[in-house]
Amino acid sequence: MAPRQKKAPATKSPPPQPAGVACPQCGSGYAPVYYTRQQMGKTVRVRECQHCGRRFSTVERVA
């Protein structure tokens, strides 16, 4: 009898990332808003990456 051949391991794709802002440090797409403030016609949102813990700001202009 011929020896059995091993199957190649199944490659798993990374879990789906929510759409939104990516963390500038690790690239994770899961960075929910930590807090929001209004500042001189802009909305400043501080986000916290759930992967690496880094906090970063995003700015939106209020039209």
Cα 29-63-42 angle, rounded to 5 deg: 60
Q: Domain total for the chain?
A: 1
Structural domain harbouring 55: 32-63
Amino acid at 9: P
Structural domain contains residue 10: no
Tens of pLDDT, residues 23-50: 888 888 888 899 999 988 899 999 999 8
Query: Is 40 domain-assigned?
Result: yes
Q: Of the candidates 9, 17, 12, which has an alpha carbon nearest to the alpha carbon of residue 49?
A: 17
Inside any domain, residue 1: no
Of 4 and 23, which is predicted with more confidence?
23
Query: What pLDDT, on the 0 to 100 scale, is given for residue 44?
Result: 93
DSSP string for 16-47: PPPSSPPPTTT--S---EEEEEEETTEEEEEE
Classify residue 21: in a domain, yes or no.
no
- Classify residue 5: in a domain, yes or no: no
Q: pTM for the full model?
A: 0.61
In a domain, 49, yes or no: yes
